[in-house]
């Protein structure tokens, strides 16, 4: 058994390619890029939360372009209507019938920009699409293209003019990541460097759709041992028993945690999931699903870290 | 921090619920203001927990405690005794619950609650009370579990299920202690009785007086015999002799004091010492018939009543000599016998007429007495719960209800004999007694109070005749408790008729009650001995019982412990995990300890940064561990695991 865990594993080439090329455009955010990629490989939707101007949109743009996916951007505003997302039927005079004009959602990657600026009605138009990979308009259900991702960005909810996403919708995002400000060196390179928009325009595909789909299949084949399931269960149980969280993790959250960990293990070049994988993805996976109890004295700043520290690995 | 989180609203509510459950049966007996104080304290405590308020300051608590204690002293007029003791305990429980500040404080009300559960048995020992107290204890254990949880609140299930298991695990030990702990002859639940409810024989006897005593387990006196203990049927303890009929009641005949009577012993003397419980009356008790007064402070009345010169208010011990066979009063004159022929001719006309007719039919007094006894034997029924009697109690009892207790028999018997011109009188006292095998003392209880009669024959003098014996010989031969055991069961069985299904249920319930009384409430010293001898133990005395108790406690503890240990072993960690933990313990010597939430990879990397050499040596072990535990062949061939265990054993951190 010569699995050397402790040396860098040769990672699947196109994947490394995607990561390094994205890193060239989005400077100093390698970990966030990797996490976003991890989310995509796990076939999950991604929510990027941060203040305006740190590169949320750029990141989603870059990923879609590198993966060679068909890409649509929906700018969510407070007057956005569901039809603006899904599409609308318009009367065609020549054929004397209604013809459905597909909305921007019929696309492989949706960038739902500033999702929490839209009214709940428009937000919910995304719901069905995200969960079922299909939309229903005029009583007709239509399949969305495969692969299908939603990368949504949102402003922190304390900003003006936001409708916080309901729990049900938050739960549909596999991960929520934060970008944060770039460090000093990265920011300097950004200021001195080329315009990012032009760089994005020049991006060529680094991974084919077939390669992406096969990687996504590989993720599900990453081995999960009983011991690891025990650990994931212990984590979930802790959130349900603990007095620090208002509500425990849902079964869907458990599945998400395991799937994301598998994806991370694949990206780390391993065939099996380790507790470390779970711990690595946990902040992104459970951070938006856990609401810490705020009773004045004990306010948890980072619920995911709190959770990881509280649960021993069995 | 933790201490404060223990006193959460839910935990407090559980504690208060347990307290409410355990106090509820007492509430009706307590003065209303005590119940009021309890409710107020409980509500206040709940309010404090609900709105996170401060508990009352110590001086206020002290003031409340003083006022309430003073109130109890005024209410009961004493500090000691069952009623006042229970009341004070309940008040203190509620006040203690009110002033709880931290987790440690909560332990006290819980354990007081356990104790309070016991006090309920001083008032009622039924199955239902037993079940109810089980529920109380369950709630308290559940509350205890809640208080001992850290960080998280226990749910209903998390409280009740473990609490139930704890109680179930305690059952074997409970049974061992119950069956093997040496029983004292006293009632399990006897307590210093309050003066106002003190029981004992009085100087008169009306229907209902003695049957009232029959439910009292209080000890009347204890007797130590110098020689062997006489047969139970000879154990007639003579007390007040009632010669005067006054309406419904029989009373002591005041003139009897003067008369001196000749006493001819006809059997061997029996020497014994009586230790009499204080009963506030002057009379003493002695085996029928005492020969000589023990000391100057004791004297005899003409009817062989033994009296002290002052009421017995303290425990009194005196030596007496009695003869079981005797001849007394053969030479009495008609004038001397006249008081024993008087009766109240205004009442009970049918009984009086019957007595007169009996005399005409049987000129020989002995034949008459025997025929009267035969009538008792044939038609009457002995019961502890006789029907109520009206203005002519003897008439109603003798001709109509025909159910009664010893005072009915003795009273009607004497009245009919007097109507038949045969001198007779009522003697009250106690009959029987129970031998305590530890002290070898005979214990006589209030429940053994009895009334019989003495009849005068010209050739024999005064002869003891016990009409109750004619009705229920068992009562005399075997003693009170064995005849009746569960008091009232017999009556319930008789009444539960013509009800079909209800009757079935009543029978089953009575059968259950009988078993309960036999095995739990009435599990007396004798029963315990019978039971243990039935198990094959010989020569059961308290020493051997103690030895068996110790042996059984340890073996039961051992068996239960073994069972729990086996369960723990079954859920023990897998060998691979245990070996990995040993590896981590070895590596911890480097000063780099694995955190509980740290995965193998993270730990190894941290190790490598600080101790690259050791980390390098350990790397293959980590790889094997990860492969065995998390990779595809996790839980694979056990020789790999054994190999890993051995390699960990050989691994050294230098």
Nearest Cα to Cα of residue B263 among B330, B335, B333, B334: B330
On whether residue B99 sits in a domain, the answer given is: yes
Summarize the confidence of residues B97-123 as an average pLDDT.
88
Same domain, A170 and A209: yes
Residue that has been written with the tokens 């009622």 in this structure = B124
Same domain, A209 and A249: no
Same domain, A249 and A269: yes
Of A8-22, B242-256, B338-352, B465-479, the one with minimum mean pLDDT is B465-479
Residue contact B608–A6, C-beta within 8 A: yes
For A226-264, the pLDDT digits (tens) are 889 999 999 998 888 877 777 888 888 899 999 999 999
For B554-582, the pLDDT digits (tens) are 998 888 888 888 777 666 667 788 888 88
Joined tokens for residue A192: 């001195």
Joined tokens for residue B279: 């009963």
Same domain, B222 and B368: yes
Return the pLDDT at B49: 87
> Is pLDDT of B187 > 70?
no
Q: What is the CA radius of gyration of chain B?
A: 36
**Within an 8 Å CB–CB cutoff, is residue A300 touching chain B?**
no
Chain B positions touching A5 (Cβ under 8 A) are 601, 622-623, 626
Nearest residue in chain A measured CA to CA from B595: A312
Return the pLDDT at B636: 56
Last residue of a domain, one of A217, A246, A267: A217
The model's confidence at residue B136, banded by pLDDT at 50, 70 and 90, is very high
Cβ(B332)–Cβ(B456) under 8 Å? yes
Catalytic residue among B38, B450, B526, B584: B450
Last residue of a domain, one of A217, A233, A252: A217
Chain A positions touching B632 (Cβ under 8 A) are 223, 271-272
On whether residue B424 sits in a domain, the answer given is: yes
Return the pLDDT at B112: 93
The DSSP code sequence of A143-162 is EPPSS-EEEEEE--TTSTT-
Q: In CATH, what number is assigned to the domain containing residue A189?
A: 3.40.50.300
Same domain, A152 and A229: no
For chains A and B, count residue pairs whose Cβ atoms are closer than 8 Å: 75
Return the pLDDT at B497: 41
Same domain, B314 and B426: yes
For B316-369, the pLDDT digits (tens) are 778 888 888 888 888 788 888 888 888 888 888 888 888 888 888 888 888 888
Domain limits at B114? 2-154
Rounded Cα–Cα distance for residues B359 and B365 (Å): 8
The distance in angstroms from the start CA to the end CA of chain A is 24
Same domain, B272 and B371: yes
Last residue of a domain, one of A169, A195, A217: A217
Same domain, A181 and A40: yes
On whether residue B340 sits in a domain, the answer given is: yes
On whether residue B182 sits in a domain, the answer given is: no
Last residue of a domain, one of B131, B154, B177: B154
Min Cα–Cα distance to chain B from A278, Å = 10
> Is pLDDT of B154 > 60?
yes
Residue contact B605–A6, C-beta within 8 A: yes
Nearest residue in chain A measured CA to CA from B603: A276
Residue contact B152–A242, C-beta within 8 A: yes
Domain limits at A303? 222-314
Same domain, A184 and A211: yes
Return the pLDDT at B572: 65
CB neighbours of B201 closer than 8 A, spacing ≥ 6? Answer: B210, B213, B239, B240, B279, B281, B283, B428, B429, B449
Residue contact B598–A313, C-beta within 8 A: yes
Same domain, A197 and A299: no
Of B427-436, B444-453, B490-499, the one with minimum mean pLDDT is B490-499
Please count the other Cβ atoms lying within 10 Å of the Cβ belonging to residue B229: 17
**Within an 8 Å CB–CB cutoff, is residue A160 touching chain B?**
no
Same domain, A105 and A232: no
Same domain, A39 and A99: yes
Residue contact A225–B635, C-beta within 8 A: yes
Return the pLDDT at B217: 65
**Nearest neighbour of A6 by CB, restricted to B598, B599, B619:** B619
Q: In CATH, what number is assigned to the domain containing residue A267?
A: 1.10.8.80
Last residue of a domain, one of B452, B484, B516: B484
How many helices and strands, by DSSP H and E, does chain B display? 25, 20
Q: Report how many domains make up chain B.
A: 3
**Nearest neighbour of B597 by CB, restricted to A244, A271, A313:** A313
Chain A positions touching B602 (Cβ under 8 A) are 276, 279
Chain B positions touching A279 (Cβ under 8 A) are 597, 599, 602
Rounded Cα–Cα distance for residues B200 and A95 (Å): 114
Same domain, B413 and B343: yes
Chain B positions touching A274 (Cβ under 8 A) are 599-601, 626, 630
Same domain, A183 and A44: yes
Residue contact B631–A243, C-beta within 8 A: no
Min Cα–Cα distance to chain A from B654, Å = 22
Summarize the confidence of residues A2-14 as an average pLDDT.
57
For B237-275, the pLDDT digits (tens) are 998 888 888 777 888 876 655 566 778 888 888 889 888
Residue that has been written with the tokens 């007639």 in this structure = B236
Min Cα–Cα distance to chain A from B96, Å = 28
Which residues numbered 211-250 in A keep a CB inside 8 Å of some CB on B?
A: 223, 225-228, 241-244
Beta partners for B107? none
**ipTM above threshold 0.85:** no
Joined tokens for residue B563: 């069972």
On whether residue B295 sits in a domain, the answer given is: yes
Which residues numbered 147-176 in B keep a CB inside 8 Å of some CB on A?
A: 151-153
Joined tokens for residue B217: 């387990």
Q: Report how many domains make up chain A.
A: 2
Same domain, B213 and B302: yes
Same domain, B397 and B480: yes
On whether residue B120 sits in a domain, the answer given is: yes
Rounded Cα–Cα distance for residues B382 and B452 (Å): 14
Same domain, B308 and B389: yes
Chain B positions touching A226 (Cβ under 8 A) are 634-635
Rounded Cα–Cα distance for residues B285 and B227 (Å): 19
DSSP-derived pairing of the beta strands A97-102 and B219-225: unpaired
Return the pLDDT at B150: 66
Same domain, A162 and A202: yes
Q: Where is B463: in which H helix or E strand?
A: strand B461-465
Residue contact A274–B622, C-beta within 8 A: no
Last residue of a domain, one of B461, B484, B507: B484
The DSSP code sequence of B312-380 is --S-EEEEEEEESSEEE-TT--HHHHGGGG---TTS-HHHHHHHHHHHHH--SHHHHHHHHHHHHHHH-
Residue contact B151–A227, C-beta within 8 A: no
Q: Where is B284: in which H helix or E strand?
A: strand B283-284
Residue contact A223–B153, C-beta within 8 A: no
Same domain, B206 and B117: no
Cβ(B195)–Cβ(B313) under 8 Å? no
Residue contact B151–A242, C-beta within 8 A: yes
The burial of B609, by beta-carbon neighbours within 10 Å (0-12 exposed, 13-18 middle, 19 or more buried), is given as exposed
Proportion of chain A above pLDDT 70, given as a percent = 92
> Is pLDDT of A57 > 90?
no
The model's confidence at residue B439, banded by pLDDT at 50, 70 and 90, is low
For B480-517, the pLDDT digits (tens) are 444 444 333 333 333 434 445 665 665 566 567 666 76
Rounded Cα–Cα distance for residues B299 and B282 (Å): 11
Same domain, B362 and B417: yes
| Three-point CA angle A218, A224, A225, nearest 5° | 150
* Mean pLDDT value across chain A: 83
Q: Quick check: is B406 catalytic?
A: yes
Q: What are phi and psi of A71, to 5 degrees?
A: -135, 130
CA distances in angstroms from B627 to A8, A263, B621, listed in the order given: 17, 19, 10
Same domain, A32 and A109: yes
CB neighbours of B160 closer than 8 A, spacing ≥ 6? Answer: B138, B142
Same domain, B286 and B343: yes
Question: Who has greater pLDDT, B100 or A9?
Answer: B100
Return the pLDDT at B141: 94
Joined tokens for residue B428: 């009250």
Nearest residue in chain A measured CA to CA from B573: A314
Q: Mutating which of A2, A3, A4, A6 best tests the B interface, going by the most B Cβ atoms within 10 A?
A: A6
């Amino acid at each position: 058994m010569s699995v050397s865990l402790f040396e860098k594993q040769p990672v699947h080439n196109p994947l490394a390619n995607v990561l390094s090329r994205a890193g060239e455009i989005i400077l100093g955010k390698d970990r966030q890029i990797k996490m976003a990629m991890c989310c995509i490989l796990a076939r999950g939707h991604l929510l990027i939360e941060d203040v305006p101007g740190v590169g949320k949109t750029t990141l989603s743009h870059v990923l879609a372009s590198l993966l060679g996916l068909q890409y649509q951007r929906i700018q969510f505003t407070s007057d956005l209507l569901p039809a603006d997302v899904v599409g609308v039927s318009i009367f065609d005079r020549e054929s004397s019938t209604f013809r459905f004009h597909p909305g921007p959602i019929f696309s492989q990657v949706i960038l739902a920009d500033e999702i929490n600026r839209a009214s709940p009605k428009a937000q919910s138009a995304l719901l069905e699409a995200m969960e079922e990979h299909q939309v229903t308009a005029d009583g007709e259900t239509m399949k969305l293209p495969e692969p299908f991702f939603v990368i949504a960005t949102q402003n922190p909810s304390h900003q003006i003019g936001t409708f916080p996403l309901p729990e049900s919708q938050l739960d549909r995002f596999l991960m929520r990541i934060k970008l944060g400000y770039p460090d000093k060196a990265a920011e300097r390179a950004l200021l001195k460097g080329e315009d990012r928009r032009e760089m994005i325009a020049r991006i060529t595909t680094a991974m084919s759709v077939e390669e992406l789909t096969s990687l996504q299949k590989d993720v599900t084949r990453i081995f999960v041992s009983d011991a690891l399931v025990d650990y994931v269960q212990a984590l979930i149980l802790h959130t349900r028993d603990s007095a620090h969280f208002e509500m425990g993790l849902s079964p869907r959250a458990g599945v998400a945690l395991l799937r994301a960990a598998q994806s991370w293990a694949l990206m780390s070049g391993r065939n099996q999931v380790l507790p470390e994988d779970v711990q690595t993805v946990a902040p992104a996976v459970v951070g938006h699903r856990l609401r810490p109890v705020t009773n004045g004295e004990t306010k948890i700043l980072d619920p995911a870290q709190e959770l990881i520290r509280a649960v021993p690995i069995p | 921090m933790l201490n404060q989180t223990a006193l959460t609203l839910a935990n407090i509510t559980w504690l208060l619920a347990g307290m409410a459950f355990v106090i509820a049966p007492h509430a009706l007996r307590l003065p209303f203001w005590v119940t009021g104080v309890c409710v107020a304290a409980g509500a206040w405590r709940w309010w404090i927990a609900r709105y996170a308020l401060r508990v009352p300051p110590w001086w206020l608590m002290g003031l409340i405690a003083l006022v309430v204690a003073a109130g109890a002293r005024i209410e009961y007029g004493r500090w000691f005794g069952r009623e006042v003791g229970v009341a004070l305990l309940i008040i203190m429980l509620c006040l203690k619950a009110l002033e709880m500040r931290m987790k440690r404080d909560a332990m006290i009300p819980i354990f007081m609650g356990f104790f309070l559960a016991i006090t309920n048995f001083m008032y009622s020992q039924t199955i239902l009370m037993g079940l109810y107290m089980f529920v109380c204890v369950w709630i308290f254990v559940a509350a205890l579990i809640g208080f001992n949880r850290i960080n998280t609140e226990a749910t209903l299930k998390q409280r009740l299920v473990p609490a139930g298991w704890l109680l179930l695990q305690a059952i074997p030990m409970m049974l061992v202690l119950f069956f093997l702990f040496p029983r004292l002859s006293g009632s399990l639940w006897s307590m210093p009785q309050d003066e106002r409810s003190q029981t004992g024989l009085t100087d008169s006897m009306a229907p209902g007086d003695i049957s009232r005593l029959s439910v009292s387990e209080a000890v009347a006196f204890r007797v130590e015999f110098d020689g062997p203990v006489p047969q139970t049927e000879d154990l007639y303890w003579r007390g007040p002799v009632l010669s005067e009929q006054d309406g419904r009641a029989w009373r002591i005949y005041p003139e009897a004091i003067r008369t001196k009577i000749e006493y001819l012993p006809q059997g061997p003397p029996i020497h014994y010492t009586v230790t009499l419980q204080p009963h506030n009356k002057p009379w003493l008790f002695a085996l029928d018939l005492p020969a000589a007064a023990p000391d100057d402070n004791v004297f005899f009345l003409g009817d062989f009543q033994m009296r002290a010169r002052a009421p017995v208010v303290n425990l009194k011990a005196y030596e007496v000599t009695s003869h079981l066979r005797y001849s007394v009063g053969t030479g009495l004159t008609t004038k001397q016998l006249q008081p024993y022929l008087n009766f109240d001719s205004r009442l009970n006309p049918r009984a009086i007429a019957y007595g007169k007719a009996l005399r005409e039919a049987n000129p020989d007094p002995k034949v008459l007495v025997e025929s009267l006894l035969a009538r008792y034997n044939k038609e009457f029924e002995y019961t502890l719960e006789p029907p109520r009697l009206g203005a002519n109690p003897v008439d109603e009892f003798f001709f109509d209800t025909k159910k009664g207790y010893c005072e009915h028999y003795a009273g009607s018997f004497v009245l009919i004999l007097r109507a038949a011109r045969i001198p007779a009188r009522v003697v009250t006292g106690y009959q029987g007694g129970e031998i305590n095998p530890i002290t070898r003392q005979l214990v006589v209880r209030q429940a053994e109070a009895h009334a019989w009669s003495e009849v005068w024959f010209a050739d024999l003098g005064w002869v003891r005749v016990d009409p109750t014996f004619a009705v229920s010989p068992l009562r005399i031969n075997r003693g009170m408790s064995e005849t009746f055991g569960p008091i009232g069961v017999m009556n319930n069985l008789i009444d539960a008729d013509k009800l079909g299904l209800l009757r079935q249920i009543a029978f089953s319930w009575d059968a259950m009650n009988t078993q309960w009384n036999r095995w739990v409430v009435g599990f007396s010293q004798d029963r315990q001995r019978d039971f243990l001898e039935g198990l094959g133990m010989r020569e059961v005395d308290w020493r051997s019982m103690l030895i068996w108790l110790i042996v059984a406690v340890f073996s039961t503890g051992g068996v239960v412990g073994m069972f729990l240990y086996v369960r723990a072993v079954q859920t023990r960690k897998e060998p691979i995990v245990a070996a990995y933990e040993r590896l981590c313990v070895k590596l911890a010597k480097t000063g780099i300890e694995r955190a509980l939430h740290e995965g193998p990879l993270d730990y190894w990397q941290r190790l490598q940064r600080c101790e690259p050499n050791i980390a390098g040596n350990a790397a293959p072990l980590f790889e094997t561990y990860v492969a065995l535990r998390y990779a595809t062949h996790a839980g694979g061939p056990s020789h790999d695991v054994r190999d890993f265990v051995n390699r960990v054993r050989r691994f050294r951190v230098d």
